[in-house]
């Protein structure tokens, strides 16, 4: 199927430099980068936000804005993408190189069926009938693992899950059999189980289509799982390049070592958890702030459909000063439980007591006085902040709402204390949310959650979309702040390694049911439930050799699942 033999270089980047013109002066995003990729090879370009990896990827397809000035060469099939005409560039896109974007929800048009969107690329490059285009769309959807493609080809994007939408985007990239696939953070914010499936799909793309893959990511576990070679970028420069096994075993550049050291791994939080357990034994267990018994939460059905039970017979406790890690994939019910504790989702059965208040049938008027004792850290601070307010005004908002301050000016001394507590300079309070990086915004979000000195903090996937180095800093900060302020916390995540760094106990949700609960050593070292075993096997580790063994274990578990052996436990 390949257009080129395996030894051919399908992409050659030579002394690429990209500069953006801004009001504050020129920004050198990419500085003299040279790379090459062969057919059937996976090259991972890694680095934190601002390293230039995504700008490099967009240059391959000529997707840079007009404010960019580019020099050097990007050769695809003999064409220099930087210098070709717009007409030729349109021909190269799709057939020479195709892109898998980071967020499939924004890459797909919500008003067209997925079949129409796949066929659009075919029609742009070939004279093809509507019937033939539909047949090819069905075929490629089947090949990327979309079940019942004959019918689902007429579905709209919102009718697919996150992982399936990513498969659709990959199908759009593959349909014209390109020589190069550029995958920009294709697994960011996906559950670890779905992430493992997408990585398997990309591996099959490489093997079956003999396509070269340029993988842009900050997840070193994903790199270890998929990449043949790795290029590390830092502040626009290429600081290290090697085959995957060599780079992970013997990194040379200090920045590469720093990236690898920042990756969370199972067992990282064991010592901290033991220390906290000893302290709790000395003090005795504190007051139980949250107690769920047989908790049930149902969403009413619509248009004649039955109600959907998102949480089914769940029981757990959170004591004062304790961190409970709640893990599970999308749809497991973990966010629903967090929202119910905060009084944002109605409890429909069982019992849920929060700070002494029963949430089943609660009235907002009686619960309102308790709200100042509950803080909430959202998954995406960029959307939870008002873009028209400064950071200081955003952090001051809870103080004003609960009448602890008359206005933002009155609250500024307290805001300055909070910013310093989360290791942000006071001057950042005068900036707007878009002027802060992702990690800085998440620190500001934590400051806002702590404004009223809550007894209980709910953190819903607060680090899922952060770079691994930034994530590490935010997790360390969270642990320090929790120790200093002493609040109890429900930490929601799909990443067991992240939860292991913070949690005193870990609870695993699967399809709305609590299938396993215990301290980290019990749940992560000796998991009893098959679903927990699959979660652990799906979590990539930053070591190509160890990851190959984990992949075999995951395939074994999947095979047993297909045979109906696993995931039948209550």
List phi, psi (to 5°) of 164.
-70, -35
C-alpha angle 404-407-409 in degrees, rounded to nearest 5: 110
List, for residues 220-267, the tens digit of each pLDDT value: 888 998 899 999 998 889 999 999 999 999 999 999 988 888 877 776
Give buried/exposed letters for 488-499 (b at 16+ CB in 10 A, else e): bbbbbbbbbbbb
pLDDT of residue 1: 40
What CA–CA distance (Å, rounded) separates 58 from 93? 11
What CA–CA distance (Å, rounded) separates 429 from 407? 15
Q: Which residues are within 8 A (CB) of 67 and not within 5 positions of it... i.e. 6 or more apart?
A: 20, 21, 22
The answer to whether residues 39 and 179 touch, using CB atoms and an 8 Å cutoff, is: yes
Q: Which residues are within 8 A (CB) of 280 and not within 5 positions of it... i.e. 6 or more apart?
A: 286, 321, 322, 504
Q: CA dist 561 to 418, 441, 566, 567, Å?
A: 48, 41, 5, 7
User: Which contacts qualify for 522-528: CB closer than 8 Å, 24 or more apart?
Assistant: 523/496, 524/266, 524/267, 524/496, 524/500, 525/266, 525/267
DSSP state of 372: G
What CA–CA distance (Å, rounded) separates 370 from 425? 31
Report, in angstroms and rounded to the nearest whole number, the Rg of the chain calculated over CA atoms: 25
Q: Which residues are within 8 A (CB) of 475 and not within 5 positions of it... i.e. 6 or more apart?
A: 264, 463, 498, 501, 502
Six-digit token pair at 547? 């990851």
The CATH architecture assigned to 9-261 reads 3-Layer(aba) Sandwich (3.40)
pLDDT of residue 273: 63
pLDDT of residue 570: 39
Using 70 as the pLDDT threshold, list the residues of the chain that sit under it: 1-7, 23-24, 189, 267-284, 438, 465, 563-570
Is the backbone of residue 77 left (phi > 0), alpha (psi -120 to 50) or beta? Answer: left
How many beta carbons lie within 10 A of that of residue 330, not counting itself?
A: 15
Assigned CATH for 270-539: 3.40.50.300
What CA–CA distance (Å, rounded) separates 529 from 569? 7
C-alpha angle 6-11-17 in degrees, rounded to nearest 5: 155
Six-digit token pair at 41? 């090879």
- Angle, helix 130-143 to helix 162-174, in steps of 10 degrees: 120
Q: Which residues are within 8 A (CB) of 563 and not within 5 positions of it... i.e. 6 or more apart?
A: none
Q: Where does CATH 3.40.50.300 sit in the chain?
A: 9-261, 270-539
- H-run or E-run covering 310: strand 308-319
- For CA atoms 137, 140, 144, 150, the dihedral sign is positive
What CA–CA distance (Å, rounded) separates 247 from 544? 10
What CA–CA distance (Å, rounded) separates 389 from 386? 6
Residue 505, beta-bridge partner list = 324
The answer to whether residues 397 and 372 touch, using CB atoms and an 8 Å cutoff, is: no
What CA–CA distance (Å, rounded) separates 85 from 101? 24
pLDDT of residue 269: 63
pLDDT of residue 279: 66
The answer to whether residues 340 and 359 touch, using CB atoms and an 8 Å cutoff, is: yes
List phi, psi (to 5°) of 274.
-65, -40
List phi, psi (to 5°) of 87.
-65, -45
What CA–CA distance (Å, rounded) separates 424 from 216? 29
pLDDT of residue 417: 87
């Amino acid at each position: 199927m390949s257009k080129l033999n395996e030894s051919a270089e399908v992409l050659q980047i030579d002394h690429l430099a990209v500069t953006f013109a801004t009001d504050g002066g020129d920004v050198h995003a990419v500085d003299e980068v040279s790379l090459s990729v062969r057919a059937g090879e996976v090259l991972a370009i890694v680095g934190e936000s601002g390293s230039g990896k995504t700008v490099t990827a967009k240059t391959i397809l000529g997707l840079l804005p007009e404010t960019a000035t580019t020099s050097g060469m990007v050769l695809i099939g003999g064409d220099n993408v930087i210098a070709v005409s717009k007409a030729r560039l349109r021909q190269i896109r799709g057939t020479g190189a195709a892109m898998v974007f980071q967020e499939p929800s924004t890459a797909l048009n919500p008003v067209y069926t997925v079949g129409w969107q796949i066929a659009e690329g075919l029609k742009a490059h070939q004279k093809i009938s509507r019937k033939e285009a539909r047949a090819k769309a069905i075929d490629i959807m089947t090949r990327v693992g979309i079940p019942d493609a004959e019918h689902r080809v007429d579905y709209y994007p919102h009718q697919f899950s996150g992982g399936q939408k990513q498969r659709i985007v990959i199908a759009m990239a593959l349909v014209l059999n390109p020589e190069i696939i550029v995958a920009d953070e294709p697994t960011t914010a996906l559950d670890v189980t779905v992430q493992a499936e997408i990585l398997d799909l990309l591996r099959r793309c490489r093997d079956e289509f003999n396509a070269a893959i340029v993988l842009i990511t900050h997840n070193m576990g994903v790199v270890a799982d998929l990449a043949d070679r790795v290029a590390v970028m830092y502040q626009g420069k290429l600081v290290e390049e090697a085959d995957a096994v060599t780079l992970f075993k013997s990194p040379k550049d200090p920045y590469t070592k720093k990236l690898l050291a920042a990756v969370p791994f199972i067992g990282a939080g064991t010592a901290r958890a033991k220390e906290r357990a000893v302290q709790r034994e000395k003090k005795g267990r504190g007051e139980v702030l949250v107690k769920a018994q047989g908790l049930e939460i149902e969403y009413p059905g619509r248009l004649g459909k039955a109600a959907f039970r998102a949480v089914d017979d769940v029981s757990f406790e959170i004591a004062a000063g304790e961190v409970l890690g709640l893990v599970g994939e999308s749809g497991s019910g973990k966010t629903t439980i967090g929202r119910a504790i905060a009084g944002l989702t109605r409890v429909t059965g069982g019992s849920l007591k929060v700070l002494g208040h029963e949430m089943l049938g609660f009235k907002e008027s009686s619960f309102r006085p308790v709200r100042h004792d509950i803080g909430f850290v959202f998954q995406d601070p960029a959307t939870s902040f008002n873009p028209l307010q400064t950071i200081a005004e955003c952090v001051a908002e809870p103080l004003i709402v609960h009448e602890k301050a008359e206005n933002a000016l009155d609250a500024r001394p307290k805001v300055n204390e909070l910013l310093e507590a989360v290791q942000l300079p006071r001057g950042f309070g005068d900036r707007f949310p878009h002027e802060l990086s992702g990690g800085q915004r998440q620190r500001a979000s934590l400051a806002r959650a702590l404004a009223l000195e809550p007894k209980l903090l709910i953190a819903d996937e607060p680090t899922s979309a952060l770079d691994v180095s930034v994530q590490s800093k935010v997790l360390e900060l969270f642990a320090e702040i929790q120790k200093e302020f002493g609040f109890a916390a429900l930490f929601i995540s799909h990443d067991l390694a992240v939860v292991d760094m913070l949690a005193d106990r870990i609870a695993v949700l699967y399809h709305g049911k609590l299938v396993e609960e215990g301290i980290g050593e019990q749940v992560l070292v000796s998991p009893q439930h098959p679903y927990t075993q699959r979660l652990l096997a799906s979590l990539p580790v930053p070591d190509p050799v160890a990851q190959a063994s984990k992949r075999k274990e995951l395939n074994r578990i999947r095979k047993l699942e297909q045979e109906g052996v696993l995931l039948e436990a209550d």
